[in-house]
Structure 1
Amino acid sequence: MKHFFLLGIFCIIIYSCKKNVSQIDLPNISKASTLNGFEIKGTLENFYPEKVYLNKIIEDSFYKIDSAQIQNNNFSFIGIVEFPERFAITFENYSSITLFIIENTQFEIIINSETINDPIIIGSSLNNKLFEYKVEAKTIFKKIDYLFPKFQKARLENDVDKLAEISEEMKKIEKEFTNFSNNYILQNKESYIAAMILRDQIKSTTIDTLQIKKTYDILSSEIKKSPDAKIIASFLNLH
């Protein structure tokens, strides 16, 4: 049923990319001192790879741009980014992926094997802000939990009336989530998080181009310079 596309959006929020490709040169992250760049101090819990990789995310692909050896379950990355963006950490001999935002500050990331998709991040205001958004979004998506078994049962029984009823309920959840996201962007139009959330909307199976343009227009001029906002602008130019 098409209204279960909400699950797809939430997967984008939590785990937006999956493909790993060969290394290439990427200009928008470089080595720098911690005076004007970032320093990530990482800790691994309950799993023991020998090396971790920092990956730039482009479309649905990961590009390895740096690596670090693990010493006493700790690792670090130092560099500089032009704008805050989401990056991915991958692990040698493990298929798991941790997504997070890199901004030019010193912060810690604690990655537990049981909650790899939800690392603990200390000292990064943008990661904290994204976490708050995800917590609120989860309260909406929890409403899907009780509908999915009903949907499966109705589909097996070919209960057309019940499927229509569930479809209407899903539309309400869909609208609630869309309104929540758009209101969040409106209230945070000067935050890079707003551009990231809006970029995720253009990856969904159902896209309201007019609403995306309307929401994009309210972003501050500084946020529109970010890579996420530029991707949105390119999308709008094509539609």
Structure 2
Amino acid sequence: MKNFVLRITVVLIVFTLITACKDYTTQSREKAGYIISGTIKGLDQGFVKMTDYGNREKVTVIDSTQIVNGTFEFTGKVDFPDMVNLSIDGKISRFFLENSHITLDIDWSEVQASNWQFNSKVSGSKSHDQFAAIEAQTQAILEDPKYKTLAKVRELYAQAKKTKSAEDLEKAKSLQKELMPLSKERMDRYVKAKKDFVRNNPGSPIAVHILGYQYTEGRMTKDELKGYYNLFTGNARETVFFKHHITKVYKDNFENLGIGNTAPDFTLNTVEGNELALSKVNAKYKLVDFWASWCIPCRTSFPHLKELRKQYKKDGFEIVGIGTADVEEQWRKAIEEDETPWIHVFDAAEGRAYGPVAKSYGVPHLPTTFLIDNNNTILLRNPTKDELDTKLKELFGH
């Protein structure tokens, strides 16, 4: 009996030591860095990459590995948490990478059914949990039953597109105008919730991604762009998104392509097929207008631009429309349909990517416009209708 008890005791001690050893090994590995354990239901073999998130110009591969028997693993170490992409078969899923044991559960059928982005079940990343919680809170604002009637506007526009009825289109526009205050209230609440988190957590890498593409000149005033850029501190400023998106937007507006800077010269082919350099356009003041045939706000602005050109052309005003992120045939067709009489040039690229000239101007969205003088000095960047009208009246005296 004593021997039996002794044997049991020894076994328990050994088991405890082995378990403790395993726990210590796991803890020590996590302390040294991260362990990512992935499982893909429905895919036994393949290839998976982990890349950075936030640099649209160049994607950096952090690590890559084979999928074996439906599982994969990454190990490494990061200096601070940041958003990354998991890429499988050209499709991505985002999660927060940090020094912890992170598990990713993926359903291959969902990956195949997705367009370009799929969902992963992420556990073990406290940063990801916090990010997901904040995103859920802000999304709940958009889904508040109070705003349910706003869906009717989309339904009416879809119906008008299907029927091609002027009456249906007018109904959609009328309801949209009626519900505009409610729509604005919803968006104001949504944006405020994001900005509140950022202001309360300026050093958090999570805050950078919560703000995300709210940080664009189309969604923020110039003062806000300056304020939020300077608000972030510490590791937040080290994230890929901050370095490549937020910093680019800031520098384009205030250091590289803002008021007082020189607009890059370029040479592109006109709609007639002739080469034209911006610096050779004979005008005192030029409005450089980046647009595309599919861009509704771009083409909606054309009637007013026609009026301005008619009013000031004899005084030395010209418009240079740059078609970009477009198909050339569709660009040409839009010019004919809209009967826009100014200079048109085409900034060619593959698909709907911005062309090289649009990239050199740091175009954030379409339309993007620059008012420049005959020395290519930028006088206005993305002015509102009223700002452009006021400036031209100031320049030409009428």
Q: TM-score scaled to structure 1, two decimals?
A: 0.72
- Residues in 1 aligned to 2:240 and 2:157: alpha-carbon distance in whole angstroms: 43
Which structure has the larger Rg over C-alpha atoms?
A: 2
| Residue in 1 that maps onto 2:392 | none
| Residue in 2 that maps onto 1:7 | none
Alignment partner of 1:237 out of 251, 256, 259: 251
Return closer, same or farther for 1:207/1:46 CA change in 2, 3 Å cut-off.
Answer: farther
Alignment partner of 2:91 out of 96, 104, 116: 96
Contact persistence 1:198–1:216 (CA under 8 A): no
Give the RMSD, CA atoms, in angstroms: 2.9
Q: How does 1:55-204 map to 2 (within 5 A)?
A: 55-57=51-53, 58-59=55-56, 62-91=59-88, 94-113=89-108, 114=110, 117-143=118-144, 146-153=149-156, 156=160, 157=168, 158-159=170-171, 160-202=173-215
Contact persistence 1:198–1:212 (CA under 8 A): no
Contact persistence 2:35–2:75 (CA under 8 A): yes
Deviation string, structure 1 residues 137-175 (Cα, Å, up to 9, x no partner): 221222566523333316722124312023332211111
Deviation string, structure 1 residues 117-143 (Cα, Å, up to 9, x no partner): 432222211111111012112212225
Give 5+ residue unaligned stretches, structure 1.
1-32
| Residue in 2 that maps onto 1:36 | 32
Return closer, same or farther for 1:56/1:190 CA change in 2, 3 Å cut-off.
Answer: closer
Deviates more, 1:211-220 or 1:166-175: 211-220
Which letter maps to 2:119? D
Deviation string, structure 1 residues 164-221 (Cα, Å, up to 9, x no partner): 0233322111111110100111222232111222343225853334224323433334
Contact persistence 1:49–1:70 (CA under 8 A): yes
Return closer, same or farther for 1:60/1:147 CA change in 2, 3 Å cut-off.
Answer: farther
Contact persistence 2:39–2:71 (CA under 8 A): yes
- Residues in 1 aligned to 2:73 and 2:196: alpha-carbon distance in whole angstroms: 36
| Residue in 1 that maps onto 2:233 | 220
Contact persistence 1:151–1:166 (CA under 8 A): no
Deviation string, structure 1 residues 45-101 (Cα, Å, up to 9, x no partner): 24445221222232266444432222232111112334432211121xx44321112
Residue identity (%): 20
- Residues in 2 aligned to 1:187 and 1:59: alpha-carbon distance in whole angstroms: 28
SS in 2 for 1:104: coil
Q: TM-score scaled to structure 2, two decimals?
A: 0.45
SS in 2 for 1:81: coil
Greater RCO between the two (CA within 8 Å, min separation 6)?
1
Which letter maps to 2:95? F
Return closer, same or farther for 1:95/1:148 CA change in 2, 3 Å cut-off.
Answer: farther
Contact persistence 1:103–1:126 (CA under 8 A): yes
Deviates more, 1:205-214 or 1:127-136: 205-214
Contact persistence 1:199–1:229 (CA under 8 A): no
